[in-house]
């Protein structure tokens, strides 16, 4: 009876929601420990592009202070964090004012707000093949249509994306660097693209991995906002700032677009721990420099190891890299599929990320860990490949 009523009720849900599948996060450590009877401390998780160095000590101290104020709602306008961001961003690149900033419960929140502001049923949203899964999810929830543009060498084909914009297009997502491919775009490429986009189409430039990139030609979206009021740049504290669990990110845009986003932003969407820790982490330049150094060293080690194993990979400027398990034995490399390699890694307590749902069934994405974690992964991978070759 209850089942019957339940299914009748759920039938009434919006069609857009019924056709969705929930976002698949990387497997949590405790879940794997339960499944395979492993000790959680022995498990290496390199599946969600998390910062492997542990949080900034300054962030922890700031949170401890904040704990005494738990009975209060957080500052719903995030005054201190906006001030800190203005200082930091203005010092590093271009002048940013509090009215340019929208704070999010993770930068995923900002992606959701901007789509809610601009995309109605039937409107088109353009993004690249192999792009971040959240774009399709937030678009479909609004009833928007995803227009997915084929990638070029795993990266964004900006010419094709510009050409895909139609009268029905309201918004374009660009990821720089892109997750899960690690490909990146230059300042000139983004500026040229913006020149082709109609000024009433929003462009969201997702710079979640901005702090990791060293390439001199790499674009800094903030410098393009004053010339392009239709540009929204998103960044996060989840990656190089090491605060993924707290959920805090931000959007930088014209004050007018920020005002729109603040209308759909739920009250108190960023909690007081996140606000305080983000301010502290933002002031901890040493922490970010160390995180980047660990990442650079890990990236060099992993690419060297893939070369030695004869596994192709997509050069990446993020804190992750996608490598290929060539699908056929005749490639002379291996006799296993990417899915099997993933399964065998899980069995020995190494969690990485299959990306078949990104239309890359022969690739696996691994986040850059500490040197010890990277070695555990490479030793396990080497053994799996050797076992299947013999």
Ligand X SMILES: *Cc1c(COP(=O)(O)O)cnc(C)c1O
Residue 112 binds ligand X (CB under 6 A): no
Residue 179 binds ligand X (CB under 6 A): yes
Query: Among residues 208, 338, 351, 380, which is the contact residue for ligand X, using CB under 6 A?
Result: 208
Residue in the structure block whose two tokens are 């200082």: 87
Total residues contacting ligand X by CB under 6 A comes to 14
Report in angstroms how near the CB of residue 244 gets to ligand X at its nearest.
6
Nearer to ligand X, 38 or 264 (CB): 264
Report 9-68 residues binding ligand X (CB under 6 A): 49
Report 114-143 residues binding ligand X (CB under 6 A): 132
| C-alpha to C-alpha distances, 207 to 177, 182, 184, 344, nearest whole angstrom | 7, 12, 10, 33
Report 241-300 residues binding ligand X (CB under 6 A): 244, 249
Report in angstroms how near the CB of residue 165 gets to ligand X at its nearest.
21
Task: List, in sequence order, the alpha helices (H) in 165-284.
Answer: 187-196, 255-264, 272-282
Residue 289, H or E segment: helix 285-309
Q: Supply the DSSP string of 47-63, one letter for each residue.
A: SS---TT---HHHHHHH
In angstroms, the CA 210 to CA 232 distance is: 14
Q: Tokens in use for 122?
A: 């039937």
Residue 108 binds ligand X (CB under 6 A): yes
Candidates 86-94, 102-110, 164-172, 277-285; binding stretch for ligand X (CB under 6 A): 102-110
Nearer to ligand X, 277 or 333 (CB): 277
Nearer to ligand X, 104 or 298 (CB): 104
CB of 290 closer than 8 Å to CB of 52: no
Residue 78 binds ligand X (CB under 6 A): no
Q: Which residue is nearest to ligand X (CB)?
A: 106
Nearer to ligand X, 219 or 380 (CB): 219
Residue 175 binds ligand X (CB under 6 A): yes
In angstroms, the CA 280 to CA 55 distance is: 11
Residue 106 binds ligand X (CB under 6 A): yes
Residue 173 binds ligand X (CB under 6 A): no
In angstroms, the CA 325 to CA 78 distance is: 45
In angstroms, the CA 107 to CA 113 distance is: 10
Residues whose CB falls within 8 Å of the CB of residue 311, separated by 6 or more in sequence, listed in order: 323, 324, 325, 326, 333
Which of 62, 57, 79 lies closest to 273 in space, CA to CA? 62
Report 217-236 residues binding ligand X (CB under 6 A): 236
Report in angstroms how near the CB of residue 303 gets to ligand X at its nearest.
20
Binding site for ligand X (CB under 6 A): 49, 106-108, 132, 175, 179, 206, 208, 236, 238-239, 244, 249
């Amino acid at each position: 009876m209850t089942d019957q009523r339940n299914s009748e009720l759920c039938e009434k849900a919006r069609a857009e929601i019924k056709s969705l599948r929930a976002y698949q996060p990387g497997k949590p450590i405790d879940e794997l420990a339960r499944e395979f009877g492993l000790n959680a401390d022995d498990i290496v998780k390199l599946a969600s592009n998390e910062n492997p160095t542990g949080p900034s000590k300054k962030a922890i101290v700031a949170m401890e202070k904040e704990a005494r104020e738990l009975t209060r709602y957080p500052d719903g306008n995030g005054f201190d964090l906006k001030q800190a961001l203005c200082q930091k961003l203005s010092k590093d690149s271009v002048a940013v004012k509090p009215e340019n900033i929208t704070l999010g419960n993770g930068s995923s929140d900002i992606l959701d707000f901007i789509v809610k502001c601009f995309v109605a049923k039937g409107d088109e949203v353009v993004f690249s093949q192999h792009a971040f899964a959240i774009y399709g999810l937030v678009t479909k929830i609004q009833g928007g249509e995803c227009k997915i543009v084929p990638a070029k060498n795993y990266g964004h084909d900006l010419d094709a994306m510009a050409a895909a914009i139609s009268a029905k297009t309201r918004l374009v997502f660009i990821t720089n660097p892109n997750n899960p491919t690690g490909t990146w775009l230059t300042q000139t490429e983004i500026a040229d693209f913006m020149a082709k986009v109609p000024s009433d189409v929003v462009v969201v430039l997702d710079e979640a991995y901005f702090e990791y990139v060293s390439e001199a030609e790499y674009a800094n979206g903030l410098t393009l906002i004053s010339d392009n009021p239709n540009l929204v740049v998103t960044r996060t504290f989840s990656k190089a700032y090491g605060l993924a669990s707290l959920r805090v990110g931000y959007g930088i845009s014209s004050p007018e677009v920020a005002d729109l986003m603040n209308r759909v932003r739920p009250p108190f969407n960023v909690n007081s721990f996140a606000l305080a820790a983000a301010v502290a982490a933002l002031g901890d330049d040493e922490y970010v420099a160390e995180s980047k150094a660990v990442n650079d060293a890990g990236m060099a080690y992993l690419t060297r190891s893939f070369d030695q194993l004869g596994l192709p990979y997509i050069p990446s400027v993020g804190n992750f890299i996608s490598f290929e398990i060539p699908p056929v034995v005749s490639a002379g490399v291996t006799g296993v599929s990417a899915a099997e390699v993933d399964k065998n890694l899980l069995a020995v307590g190494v969690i990485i990320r299959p990306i078949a749902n990104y239309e890359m069934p022969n690739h696996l994405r691994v986040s850059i860990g500490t040197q010890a974690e990277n070695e555990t992964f490479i030793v396990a991978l080497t053994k799996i490949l050797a076992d299947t070759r013999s």
